[in-house]
Structure 1
Amino acid sequence: MAPAWHVDPYRRKSSTGKIVTISLVSVLVVVGGLIGVLAVLGDGKNKSSSVADSGYDYPSSSSTTSPSYTETASATTRQTSSAPTTRSTPTSTRTTTTTSTPSGPKPVLKTKDNPLFAGENGTNTVTCNLPQWRSTPQAAEAFFTAAMPCMEAAWAPVLQRANLPFTRPKIVFPSGKRWESGCGVADSTKEDVAAFYCSPDVTIYMPFEGLQTGVNGNRIGNYLALFAHEYGHHVQAMSGSLKAAHNESYELGPDTAAGLEVQRRKELQAQCFGGMWFAAAWNGKGSITDAVVRDMLADGYTRGDDNNPKAPRNHGKRANYGAWQRHGYEKNRTYQCNTYLAPANSVS
């Protein structure tokens, strides 16, 4: 199916053009509600800089060399059908087709009540040692390739504890002006294309031209915030909430006020999940220093729908975009990122 390209707040206010983030197979069943934990949401000023640990640690990776990570994910769960089999009976020979019963965890097509948000479930501490950032396509590819297992090591156990499936996402680094994905054709001659997650092929796409290296320089917190946001969409896809949100928005009308609110809740949750990954990596030290976290937190408040008032309001305004990222970092619990229970003004 053709992609629905959306304006992405991962373009700074001072930058020209627009960036697009795809999250096909989205999720939502929006219900308003109030959740006390959102009292911390605001402009990010005068807030505590403390960050919660999940209480779950992996074995030390101090004996490994850079780039390194500390754990791998569980095996992918697949649904398979057996080939037709022939069995002999005393009276005849017959051919039957048997279908195996899928085993293991399955996605749950719910948003606010998704098991992902149950209990005290936070990202596992992970030590992530990354190569030095250089603003070239080859170096960026090496950087994000090294970061991918760090995302996995932090998030796979979260899904496992919630009894949800986990599949390792692919990562692709497109080049050129026009290229294809499982979500359709991207053409940078017609519009700017940024990083995006595509559910149909379970892939994060990271085109170098969408990274705004001229603006972000060597601030790896900015680049990792983008990557962690897209990985947050993968977590949503694994839980089933991404598809649920997509269905809800479609039924309401994706361009209606209600449909756009569903999309904002989904995107702001990905921001919150991105902050949770930084909590995991900061607790593990390695390359994620205080300075990297400061850059990440500051960067969040520069992005949002209000950077382009003419674009659809499908991601959230700058104040909320930065606040949810900070909230995930400081709280590091999935239930704290349940945007589907959040008051409307925190997802505007």
Structure 2
Amino acid sequence: MTRPPYGPGQGGFQPQGFPPPRPVAPPPRPMPAPPMYQPRPPHGQPHFGPPPPPPPPMWHQAPPYRPKSNTGMIVTITLVSVLVVVGGLIGVLATVDGGKRKPTSVADSGYDYPPPGTSSTSGSPASATPTSAQRPTSSAPTARTTPRTTRTTTSTPSGPKPVYRTKDNPLFAGENGTNTVTCNLPRWQSTPAAAQAFFNAAMPCMEAAWAPVLQRANLPWIRPKIAFPSGKRWESGCGVADSTKEDVAAFYCAPDLTIYMPFEGLQTNVNGSKIGAYLALFAHEYGHHVQSLSGSLKAAHNESYELGPDSAAGLEIQRRKELQAQCFGGMWFAAAWNGKGSITDAVVRDMLADGYTRGDDNNPGAPRDHGKRQNYGAWQKQGYEKNRTYQCNTYLAPANSVS
């Protein structure tokens, strides 16, 4: 994508309201990170600073994660054709019945579509696009025995519309970064009630950072909802989740514009009081909401379906989508760190460390739909350090950085 031009004397331009990039070193790792998408800026465009100092040695000690089911991939293969025909409603879903189990290794459940027969009554980004409403028609004749006619009204709301493209989506144009936000969050406690209060307090900080990004890109902005389901079996806008048959992690559902944060999927026995890990999960799901509003999420699913969702090429598209949500999550931390408040250096270190513990390579033989640990952590770090949407354009990145 062509970067915006900068004339003579415009070097060092920093758009008002954006925080500067905040470099923090990644955790120690056994091999160098693959090259990320970092196009050379044109003459006069600001370059980012030198690499940061090495991190504390404790970061690599993050423990592994527990198992979950691979049922979502099976369901995705059977149902995407139906949903593409009816409008391609999109969600990242933990759902459905039965199936073999696989280890949990990534931020969310990784399911893409609702199951067959699921209807949605609330808006996805398409809710900002034209809709049709048919008025009731009476079969009874009038006094003149003249039949009433059916009238159809088409409503075309004004305002920005999603753009169903990936690599050339307007979201990635220009110098667009998250705005600085100050988040004062309650103390973390590993109970359902306290976790709900924590994420409810974090939600306005997510919105304050991301809403201006969509608005500057002339894309729609709709506030997401957040749900805290409990129990073994519950319904979402994308279908039914059954924790007796699979481990249900957090997920985003586009048909009802909702981030689902089940307490049982937070792995509090692993993360303890490290709020950076919990916020990384939440920021990842919010990243899917940003993708959904832009139209790139639907476009990515359509591309994956056309290629074959379980093919190598289709899985690569899914990894690009998931790794981009990781990068967007890092961008939110850049906004919140610059605003200080509850987002301290220690919180950022925990966030970065968490990213490098998750990945498909934790699960030999499982579908490669999220990316290996090295890339999962590296893209999160990329978003934090660069804080520009074009730096998170995974759809232009080389294949080895999204493996």
Instruction: Please tell me the TM-score bracket, short chain as reference.
Output: 0.7 to 0.9
Deviations 1:1-41 (A, max 9, x none): xxxxxxxxxxx7623312789997269xxxxxxxxxxxxxx
How far residue 100 of structure 1 moved from its aligned partner, in angstroms, is 3.1
Contact 1:26–1:246 (8 Å) recurs in 2: no
Q: Does 1:15 align with 2:65?
A: yes
Structure 1 segment 1-348 matched on structure 2, within 5 A: 14-18=64-68, 25=90, 77=128, 79=130, 97-348=152-403
Question: Match for 1:25: what amino acid?
Answer: I
Equivalence for 1:7: none
Deviations 1:238-259 (A, max 9, x none): 0000000000001111110000
Higher relative contact order, chain-length normalized (CA < 8 Å, sep 6+): 1
Equivalence for 2:102: none
Question: Match for 2:181: what amino acid?
Answer: V
Deviations 1:144-197 (A, max 9, x none): 011011100000110000000011111000100001111111001011000000
Amino-acid identity (%): 83
Q: Partner of 1:171: helix, strand, or coil?
A: strand
Contact 1:254–1:260 (8 Å) recurs in 2: yes
Question: Which whole-Å CA distance do the structure 2 matches of 1:14 and 1:100 have between them?
Answer: 51
How far residue 95 of structure 1 moved from its aligned partner, in angstroms, is 8.4
Contact 1:303–1:321 (8 Å) recurs in 2: yes
Unaligned runs of 5+ in 2: 1-61, 77-88, 93-126, 136-147
Q: Partner of 2:326: helix, strand, or coil?
A: helix
In angstroms, what is the RMSD of aligned CA positions? 2.4
Contact 1:174–1:205 (8 Å) recurs in 2: yes
Question: Which whole-Å CA distance do the structure 1 matches of 2:312 and 2:209 have between them?
Answer: 35
Higher gyration radius (CA): 2
For normalisation by structure 1, the TM-score amounts to 0.77
Equivalence for 1:89: none
Deviations 1:257-286 (A, max 9, x none): 000000000000000000000000001000
Question: Which whole-Å CA distance do the structure 2 matches of 1:311 and 1:140 have between them?
Answer: 30
Contact 1:19–1:194 (8 Å) recurs in 2: no
Cα separation, partners in 2 of 1:97 and 1:132, compared to 1, 3 Å = same
How far residue 98 of structure 1 moved from its aligned partner, in angstroms, is 3.9
Question: Match for 2:260: what amino acid?
Answer: Y
Cα separation, partners in 2 of 1:260 and 1:80, compared to 1, 3 Å = closer
Cα separation, partners in 2 of 1:267 and 1:82, compared to 1, 3 Å = closer
Q: Partner of 1:99: helix, strand, or coil?
A: strand
Question: Which whole-Å CA distance do the structure 2 matches of 1:82 and 1:223 have between them?
Answer: 41
Cα separation, partners in 2 of 1:212 and 1:242, compared to 1, 3 Å = same
Contact 1:116–1:162 (8 Å) recurs in 2: yes
How far residue 311 of structure 1 moved from its aligned partner, in angstroms, is 1.1
Question: Which whole-Å CA distance do the structure 2 matches of 1:188 and 1:303 have between them?
Answer: 21
Equivalent residues, number:
283
How far residue 288 of structure 1 moved from its aligned partner, in angstroms, is 0.3
Contact 2:129–2:156 (8 Å) recurs in 1: no
Question: Which whole-Å CA distance do the structure 2 matches of 1:83 and 1:241 have between them?
Answer: 30
